A and B are shown apart, each in its own frame.
Chain A
Amino acid sequence: MAYSDKVIDHFNNPRNMGSFGKDEEGVGTGMVGAPECGDVMKLQIKVQDNRIVDAKFKTFGCGSAIASSSLATEWLKGKTLEEAQQIKNTDIVQELNLPPVKIHCSVLAEDAIKAALADYQKKAAAKTSSGSSQ
């Protein structure tokens, strides 16, 4: 199967690959997939004033899975949390020209985004409630 130029580009030059430090403020982490299924994505966002100021990923998976998560971090940066919620897997499919057999990679990326947002919101809520109780 031939890969699209965009998939190859993200695979060869992944954007925002890496992880945030364990104790960094305002970080939300989403980890989706399973090793037995052949793909695991870790997607992290760093939020300041309701806006995603930075994003990072690490992915175990095929080239399309790596490209989908790399693209997701590119799109997330600069978006508000509400805007980030709107990213759809079909947008990723279209941008990367993914063939039908690779659509699950884009689904995984959307799931990773949602998981990272939920994690951030959970942490933020916990912080607010612990802050108010003091």
Chain B
Amino acid sequence: MKLPIFLDNHSTTPVDPRVLEAMLPYFTEKFGNAASRNHVFGWEAEEAVEQARKQIAKLINADPKEIVFTSGATESDNLALKGVLEMYREKGTHIITSSTEHRAVLDTAKTLEAKGLATVTYLPVDKYGMVNPDDVRNAITDKTILISIMLANNEIGTINPVHEIGKIAKAKGVLFHCDATQGVGKIPVDVQAMGIDLMSFSAHKIYGPKGVGALYVRKKSPRVRLVPQMDGGGHERGMRSGTLPVPLIVGFGKACELCGAEMATEAPRIAAMRDRLQTSIMNAVEETYLNGHPTERLPGNLNISFAYVEGESLLMGMKDIALSSGSACTSATLEPSYVLRALGVGTELAHSSIRFGIGRFNTDEEIDYTIKKVVEVVTRLREMSPLYEMAKEGIDLKSVQWAAH
């Protein structure tokens, strides 16, 4: 087994060697611009792009023409929200989203709000991080133009009832955008069955390269139109100008093809590793709390709070395992995870949370090592923790007057 171990597959994933192999010719001998219509270099590039478009569309049950290439999911989210708002502003300016969306959606919504271009409803989530479809229905007004709800959450892995939300959107004639960055390639996604009109996702979360993503834009019933946010040569049906990064797109296509072919065996294999990690840790360590939905959750996701120890110190104690924490100390803002806060997880437990993200290339041996290490480090840090000591003495930590700073 090689150290360090990568257990942060929600942040990114390594490029699958088969993906890299597909990409390589397009850096060197097949380097053409897909927009060059007059020579073989261009044709070759265009053909590769169209092949990738098919592979990507197939994974989500879309038409290849409905795939708009972007630089990644952040750009896709921006294009979806800003593009729709600008296009349909005469019809309405109200957006419905949820409090646990990715920052790419939340901050875009806030920008639109700040500029006076939109009013935004941020729906709460339940204790598992799930949006209630009834809340979506009740929030719709005659001014509502767009619903933007994520498929699966990046911190806690909770999968939203997207089918139901799609039905509500359709019945009310409101467009439905879904940030599916964490879900595509991991769980079945079908834009038809789910009633999705716009969908953001990216390659690097599914063993493809960084720097490329897509926005699915529905072509019929209804035909969704967008005001482009990037002006230029009118690429991608005019929705996103800019020379297509052919090697990245080829990699994105191959990555989608592999996910489609292997999901049925890969998802249960990854879920089994996750379940073993979860059970072993939670059985061995007292006062641990699972964050997120117990079953409606991405196969590779595990988010646990370890009472009385702080997240960043946990990560530091396991420095040969790459993980992520909801602790304030690991964020740029010095605030603990807003996702965990939205679930009603107490601030102190948000500070104590660790996210494990299991992916395609993790092994049982790595999981064994991680279990051992987690138990060891939590035990050591609890011995060092005044909170643990007080709790053991029977002191109710909530009754203590803390000298906050």
Which residues of B are interface residues toward A (Cβ below 8 A)?
Answer: 308-310, 312-313, 316-317, 327-329, 334, 336, 346-348, 351, 383-389, 397, 402-405
Whether A39 lies near B310 (C-beta < 8 A) is yes
Q: Which residues between 34 and 80 of chain A lie within 8 Å of chain B, taking CB atoms? A: 34-42, 58-63, 65-66
B389-A11 in contact (CB<8A): no
18 other A-B residue contacts (CB within 8 Å) besides A17-B383, A62-B310: A8-B316, A19-B389, A31-B386, A34-B404, A38-B336, A38-B351, A40-B402, A42-B386, A58-B385, A58-B389, A60-B385, A60-B387, A61-B313, A62-B316, A66-B384, A111-B403, A111-B405, A115-B403
* Chain A 87-110 interface 0/1 with B at a Cβ cutoff of 8 Å (1 = within): 000000000000001001001100
Are B386 and A40 in contact, with the CB atoms below 8 A?
A: yes
Contacts of A63 in B (CB 8 A): 312-313, 316
With A38-B336, A60-B309, A62-B316 given, is the CB distance from A107 to B405 under 8 Å? Answer: yes
User: Which residues of chain A are near B347, meaning CB under 8 Å?
Assistant: 35-38
Q: Which residues of B contact A36 (CB under 8 A)?
A: 346-348, 351, 402, 404
A39 to B348, CA, bound (A): 9
Chain B residues whose CB sits within 8 angstroms of the CB of A8 once the complex forms: 316
In the bound complex, how far is the Cα of B308 from the Cα of A58, in angstroms?
Answer: 12
A66 touching B386 in the complex, CB below 8 Å, given contacts A34-B403, A36-B347, A36-B348: no
Residues from chain B with Cβ under 8 Å of A107 in the complex: 405
In the complex, A14 has a CB within 8 A of chain B: yes
Q: In the complex, how many angstroms separate the beta carbon of A122 from the nearest chain B beta carbon?
A: 15
Q: Which residues of B are found within 8 Å of A115, using beta-carbon distances? A: 403
Contacting pair A66 B405 (CB below 8 A) = no
**Chain A residues, Cβ within 8 Å of B308:** 60
- Please determine whether A35 and B351 come into contact, CB atoms closer than 8 angstroms: yes
Shortest CB-to-CB span from A70 to chain B, Å, is: 9
**A33 on interface, CB distance cutoff 8 Å:** yes
Q: Which of A58, A60, A63, A104 has the most CB of B within 10 A?
A: A60
Query: Closest Cβ of chain B: how far from A107's Cβ, in Å?
Result: 7
Bound Cα distance A37, B158 (Å): 26
Q: How far is the CA of A58 from the CA of B382 in the complex (A)?
A: 9
Known contacts A38-B327, A38-B336; decide if A66 and B313 are in contact (CB<8 Å): yes
A59 to B317, CA, bound (A): 14
| Shortest distance between the CB of A83 and any CB in chain B (Å) | 24
CB distance from B220 to the nearest CB of A (A): 49
A32 located at the interface, meaning its Cβ lies under 8 Å from any Cβ of chain B in the complex: yes
Assess the B334–A101 pair: CB atoms within 8 A: yes
B residues near A108, Cβ cutoff 8 Å: 405
> A60-B310, A61-B310 in contact; A34/B384 too (CB < 8 A)?
no
Q: Interface 1/0s, chain A 1-14, versus B by CB < 8 A? A: 00100001001001
Report how far A101 CA is from B405 CA in the complex, Å.
Answer: 15
Q: Are B403 and A33 in contact, CB atoms less than 8 angstroms apart?
A: yes
B326 vs chain A, min Cβ distance (A): 10
Q: Which residues of A contact B313 (CB under 8 A)?
A: 11, 61-63, 65-66
Residues of A within 8 A of B351 (CB): 35-36, 38
Min CB gap B316→A, angstroms: 4
